[in-house]
Structure 1
């Protein structure tokens, strides 16, 4: 995996090919890479639930769309958000058509009471595996994006998929599909010099 892969792996929504099946072996190969991510005390808490059954995807998509709508209600998007919002709405409208939905889970529930230290430890032990998974997908010509809207209905989706809610937390829903043809370019990002400070906050 080189610099090009790291800089061109992004949230793919409109370019997802909804007509091609994703092979189980490809998904499993990407999970094999995902599980080499670091985790606190080497706990390796990750679990992956891959959903390819159409009716189950429809149920998940219904929850996702309700959550997506609730998240937008009463909020006026900024002008610079409109393109991403249109893309996100496209995904919500077609989520049930995506060949594979991968729910990434972690053993345990978010810490209560929450604190920056405990939350960083909890999520810091699972999100590196999510990113490894997305990189591995892109290397194979598969597209994905990290979504969390479904967590509005985490308990309902847990019941749908027989996930033990009190013992396992869902942390991400990753739609996976082959990519339709298109340019592989780096996403627009602020230059490193604008987001880096030396020795003290606010010092360039």
Structure 2
């Protein structure tokens, strides 16, 4: 049984023609009904359009795996072993980078503040030699893990443009923050705090 939708009421096609309504003496009633019908149809079409074009929640991108040899211990660092366990802060820096040197003390302080809170730090020295990288680490008394990325192979997979560049990866292996150039203590700490919070709804986009 087909049912047609009309403004103001449903009409069953199988029940025969609809009885004619008594015309309005001045026609104003019919005009008002026609306007109401048109507005109702426009609202219905607008709602239907919006329901089909609501953008999905933005998902945080998955971080590429990192597997490098650490300068401090010679052991292999594999970021996949941290999944479900720790937040990972990856900092791309260089011995020749003045901004990196200026921020080194602050980054070290943030590391010391979070090292016992399921947070791991890894510095990757880009376009650097081992000798120069070690000199930088000694000068700034850096104690978190460090490795070399001389050909920016790892850095390019994270959208690296220039040093310093800091990435925060949550325990699910998702990139939740990108800090380009300026990564002061407050911004870095805020990004780590956000990554440590249990996920509720949409993941906060990274900052830049």
Which TM-score applies when normalising by structure 2? 0.23
Which TM-score applies when normalising by structure 1? 0.23
- Which is richer in helix? 1
Higher relative contact order (CA 8 A, sep 6+): 1
- Which is richer in strand? 2
